[in-house]
């Protein structure tokens, strides 16, 4: 947790601005849209091994005002699940970086895939105006929460409860599309809903990848191209979740002792390269005692 939480929302924004993640246009937008109202009373902190409930208001505000994600939902909202995070309010620095890559300008119409808490939709509405912002959320409970908080905060973006994989074809084309959930591949429907020269920003997660952000520009012919823009860790879109891995065949697997620590190979660049060269191959890791 960063020290920014000690100064509340203002200190968090100052921290992002000081790190060069907010420019002079975005800073007043962030100043005007506090994060706290969008976080439900029931929320969790993600730890390396589990999701821990925020049991006091002090803990809740400390996490909200830090540069850390806040888990909003476990197990798709089922009460009897194993406690796996399925929706979150993303790390503020990651949100700022994604919005910078989106490169919005006055007059742009933007589609967000994954409304979740409604926070990013509020930032976009503050920047571009309600009529220019469209946001879709697959989970009815989250969609209801986001709509209620956005109304209470005075924002009226266009909202829909639907599978973001299909975008919002009735309102296309869009100048910009941003996904706030990880994609296994970029759905062609989203590319088709971009204006020529429109930009799509999305985190991706493949079997071998540790997570990466892509920034693609549409060419007007139904295709888009671009580059990876650094790492990211986002929860996958429901329809893009990886299948349950098969058990490892311990009778035929091979074990190799190497002089290089395997963790040194799992950089983003290596993961992207290996994932391309080794399709359908997944990687995993496990610490073992000596």
Give me the active site residues, please. Answer: 90
Nearest to 119 by CA among 62, 72, 51: 72
Task: Return the residue matching tokens 């049991």.
Answer: 55
Long-range contacts of 243-246 (CB under 8 A, 24+ apart): 245/282, 245/284
């Amino acid at each position: 947790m960063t020290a920014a939480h000690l100064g509340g929302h203002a200190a968090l924004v100052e921290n992002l601005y000081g790190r060069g993640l907010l420019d002079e246009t975005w800073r007043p937008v962030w100043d005007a849209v506090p994060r706290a109202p969008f976080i439900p009373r029931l929320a969790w902190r993600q730890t390396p091994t589990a999701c821990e409930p925020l049991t006091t208001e002090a803990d809740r505000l400390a996490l909200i005002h830090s540069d850390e994600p806040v888990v909003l939902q476990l197990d798709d909202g089922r009460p009897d699940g194993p406690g796996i995070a399925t929706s979150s309010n993303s790390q503020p620095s990651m949100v700022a970086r994604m919005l910078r890559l989106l490169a919005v300008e006055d007059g742009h119409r933007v589609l967000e895939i994954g409304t979740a808490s409604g926070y990013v939709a509020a930032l976009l509405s503050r920047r571009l105006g309600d009529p220019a912002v469209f946001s879709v959320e697959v989970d009815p409970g989250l969609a209801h929460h986001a709509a209620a908080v956005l109304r209470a905060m005075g924002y009226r973006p266009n909202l829909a409860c639907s599978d973001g994989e299909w975008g919002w074809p009735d309102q296309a084309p869009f100048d910009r599309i941003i996904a706030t959930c990880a994609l296994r591949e970029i759905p062609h429907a989203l590319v088709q809903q971009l204006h020529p020269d429109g930009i799509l920003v999305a985190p991706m997660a493949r079997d071998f990848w540790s997570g990466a952000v892509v920034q693609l520009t549409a060419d007007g012919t139904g295709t888009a191209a671009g580059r990876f823009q650094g790492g990211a860790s986002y929860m996958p879109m429901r329809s893009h979740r990886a299948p349950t891995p098969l058990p490892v065949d311990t009778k035929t697997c091979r074990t190799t002792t190497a002089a290089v620590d395997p963790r040194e190979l799992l950089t983003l660049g290596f993961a992207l390269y290996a994932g391309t060269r080794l399709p359908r191959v997944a990687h995993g890791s496990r610490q073992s005692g000596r």
